[in-house]
């Protein structure tokens, strides 16, 4: 059951990273000159999203 | 495929190896495997820095790959982590930011060596690190505006009366939540990455064990599957190398963002 719960939880994180990458690539295509700044923000955002998935992973291992 | 049936037991054994165990034990002191990795990381960092300083001062112009490589990483930390975030006051906070960055980076990278546990792979170390950066940005905020002024500055300006108390409570709560998110993010990344790598290593080793029963067709298919798992393991290993650097970067970047927020108000 825990594994199924983790699978459901990861859907959210996957959507989150997908939306972040979509936004970053679209913005980079529109304005290549702010690529460096955008990349920093993208990495930060995906770290936030990824943390949720990893918390789920650890909790499903421990519980 | 009775290999898959044996997997849960092996993974449980793997998980048990992540619990803090004494690596060096004497009468008075016990050093766990995580502390040992941390000490080794600090020793490596000190040796690298002293050798770098000696080599750098040998000539006026930086020469050689080692000196230039270390300078590149320091320049990167200076520009991306300090100057871009803190603007005018970066010089004052750079020693702290660089210390945190290099400590986490070396610890994460050391954990990638097979057989090692990363110093940052336990909640104790990451919570201590998060506590240090938490205290640091609280200190910066208090030095800037005074204790009462800092607490008051969490309240946003321009919000009408009954709402601003509520927003203030939420802001105060989220300030303390930073402590938990900072530490849990780093810990979970390191722990989960190593568990995944360990699982694929176990799978690769389980399928190659068919050779123990004799050289048959089944043993060769087992070896084929094993090579497949090994390829997956190598891919995950490369991703983990990236994660080790990115997590050090993210932790430090968030620290400097928090310092900047505390200083701004």
Nearest to A51 among B185, B195, B253 (CB): B185
Asked if B206 contacts B3 with a C-beta cutoff of 8 angstroms, the reply is yes
Please name each of the domains of chain A with its CATH number: 2-62 (1.20.20.10)
- Which DSSP category does B15 fall into? H
Give the Cα separation of B176 and B87 in Å (integer). 25
For B181, the closest chain A residue by CA position comes to: A51
Asked if B190 contacts B121 with a C-beta cutoff of 8 angstroms, the reply is yes
pTM: 0.86
Do the Cβ atoms of B192 and A58 come within 8 Å?
yes
Q: What is the pLDDT of residues B201-239, one digit of tens each?
A: 888 888 877 777 777 777 888 888 888 889 999 999 998
- With b meaning 16 or more CB within 10 Å and e meaning fewer, what string describes B86-98? beeebeebbebbb
Nearest to A54 among B84, B188, B254 (CB): B188
The answer, for A34 touching chain B at a CB cutoff of 8 Å, is: no
Do the Cβ atoms of B15 and A40 come within 8 Å?
no
Q: What is the pLDDT of residues B153-212, one digit of tens each?
A: 877 777 777 888 888 888 888 888 888 888 888 988 888 888 888 888 888 888 877 777
For B253, the closest chain A residue by CA position comes to: A44
Predicted complex ipTM exceeds 0.85: no
- Which DSSP category does B111 fall into? T
**What residues of chain A lie within 8 A of the CB of B84, using their CB?**
37, 40
């Amino acid at each position: 059951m825990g594994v199924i719960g983790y699978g459901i939880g990861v859907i959210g994180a996957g959507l989150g990273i997908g939306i972040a990458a979509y936004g970053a690539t679209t913005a980079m295509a529109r304005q290549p000159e702010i690529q460096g700044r955008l990349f920093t923000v993208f990495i930060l955002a995906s770290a936030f999203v990824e943390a949720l998935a990893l918390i789920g992973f650890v909790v499903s291992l421990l519980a | 495929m009775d290999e898959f049936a044996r997997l849960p037991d092996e993974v449980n054994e793997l998980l048990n190896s992540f619990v803090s165990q004494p690596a060096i034990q004497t009468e008075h002191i016990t050093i766990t495997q995580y502390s040992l990795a941390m000490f080794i990381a600090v020793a490596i960092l000190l040796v690298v820095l002293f050798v770098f300083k000696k080599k750098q001062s040998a000539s006026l112009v930086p020469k050689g790959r080692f000196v230039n490589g270390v300078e590149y990483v320091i320049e990167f930390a200076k520009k991306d982590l300090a100057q871009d975030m803190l603007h005018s006051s970066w010089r004052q906070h750079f020693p702290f930011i660089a210390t945190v960055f290099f400590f986490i980076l070396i610890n994460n990278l050391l954990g990638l060596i097979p057989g090692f546990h990363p110093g940052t792979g336990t909640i104790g170390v990451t919570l201590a690190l998060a506590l240090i950066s938490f205290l640091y940005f609280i200190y910066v905020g208090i030095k800037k505006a005074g204790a009462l002024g800092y607490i008051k500055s969490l309240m946003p300006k321009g919000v009408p009366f009954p709402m601003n108390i509520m927003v203030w409570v939420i802001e105060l709560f989220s300030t303390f939540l930073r402590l938990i998110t900072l530490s849990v993010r780093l810990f979970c990344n390191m722990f989960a990455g190593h568990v995944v790598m360990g699982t694929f290593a176990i799978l690769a080793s389980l399928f190659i064990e068919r050779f123990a029963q004799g050289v048959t067709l089944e043993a060769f298919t087992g070896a084929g599957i094993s090579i497949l798992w090994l390829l997956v393991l190598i891919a995950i290993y490369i991703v983990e190398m990236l994660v080790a650097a990115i997590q050090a970067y993210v932790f430090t970047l968030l620290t400097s963002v928090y310092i900047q927020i505390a200083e701004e108000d």
